[in-house]
């Protein structure tokens, strides 16, 4: 089976720089995959993307040597299994609150006996290779989002679920759940502290820690702190920021 580039980076002690796609389009997906990201994630939760577009986007990503991932809209086995069948090499699952939810998530990504994923990896087989059935459980990556106050009480229970590879922090939801407004780059002490707590728990439990970042500078800070999977904003915010900056220059502002 085709190697998962993320596992290789992690085995080498490195940190993954991840792109994020909210535009339901395979051309913009290929353009993003052509930038020097290590992995690119199709965001089917807050992105304006559903399955049919997601398939074409995964195809576009896999024209490049970059690992294709997907964030599912919810901890729902149907959504998880479908996008894995479409060739995603890892799943980011939102709002994992406790061990039971994490087991349900991870189980949906693994064939029996490790889990309860149903077999039929249509495009996954083409992308992954003919030994997909044998190797998928060890290749596909699972990332559980830690972003609610309930999850903060259950960090170890969540992180010790067998088959969980990484956790992924959503700073905006984490901030809201702690009583603050969402912040792309958190400065509220209680949120910053929670991020540190989660990172330590991940390191303690031997899972990788990931976080959504507002920009490249935040990625740098987070990887320096020990995060190993950091996303840079997303396609549409990068575009909007660049457009606004260029328009200002154009107008001489």
Q: Which residue is catalytic, options 46, 123, 220, 237?
A: 46
Q: Is 180 a catalytic residue?
A: no
Asked if 24 and 238 count as a contact pair (C-beta separation under 8 A), the reply is no
Site for its own copies in 80-119 (CB under 8 A): 81-82, 85-86, 94-95, 111-113, 116, 118-119
Task: Report how far residue 187's alpha carbon sits from residue 101's, in angstroms, rounded to the nearest whole number.
Answer: 29
Site for its own copies in 176-235 (CB under 8 A): 176-177, 179, 181-182, 213, 215-217, 219-220, 223, 230, 232-233, 235
Site mask for its own copies (CB under 8 A), range 1-30, x = bound: ----------------x-x--xxxxxxx-x
Please tell me whether residue 78 binds its own copies under the rule CB under 8 A. yes
For residue 163, whether the previous peptide bond is cis, meaning omega lies within 30 degrees of 0, is no
Q: Whose Cβ is closer to its own copies: residue 192's or residue 214's?
A: 214
Strand-pairing partners, residue 39, are 18, 67
Task: Report how far residue 213's alpha carbon sits from residue 221's, in angstroms, rounded to the nearest whole number.
Answer: 10
Q: Whose Cβ is closer to its own copies: residue 225's or residue 248's?
A: 248
Asked if 175 and 186 count as a contact pair (C-beta separation under 8 A), the reply is yes
- Shortest distance, CB of residue 17 to its own copies, whole angstroms? 5
- Of 74, 27, 83, 31, nearest to 55 by C-alpha is 83
């Amino acid at each position: 089976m085709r190697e998962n580039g993320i596992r290789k980076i992690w085995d080498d002690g490195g940190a993954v720089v991840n792109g994020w796609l909210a535009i339901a389009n395979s051309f913009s997906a290929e353009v993003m995959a052509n930038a020097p990201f290590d992995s690119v994630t199709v965001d089917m939760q807050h992105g304006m993307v559903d399955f049919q577009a997601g398939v074409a986007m995964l195809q576009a990503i896999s024209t490049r040597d970059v690992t294709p991932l997907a964030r599912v809209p919810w901890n729902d086995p149907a959504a998880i299994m479908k996008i894995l069948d479409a060739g995603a090499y890892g799943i980011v699952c939102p709002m994992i609150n406790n061990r039971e939810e994490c087991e349900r998530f991870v189980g949906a990504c693994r064939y029996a006996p490790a889990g309860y994923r149903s077999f039929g990896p249509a495009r996954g087989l083409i992308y992954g290779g003919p030994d997909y059935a044998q190797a998928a459980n060890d290749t596909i990556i699972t990332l559980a989002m830690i972003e609610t106050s309930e999850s903060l009480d259950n960090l170890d229970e969540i992180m010790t679920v067998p088959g969980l590879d990484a956790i992924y922090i959503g700073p905006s939801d984490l901030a809201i759940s702690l009583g603050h407004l969402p912040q792309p780059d958190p400065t509220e002490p209680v949120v910053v502290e929670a991020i540190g707590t989660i990172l330590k728990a991940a390191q303690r439990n031997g899972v990788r820690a990931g976080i959504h970042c507002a920009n490249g500078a935040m990625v740098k800070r987070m990887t320096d702190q020990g995060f190993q999977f950091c996303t840079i904003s997303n396609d549409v915010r990068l575009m909007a920021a660049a457009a606004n900056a260029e328009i200002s220059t154009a107008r001489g502002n």
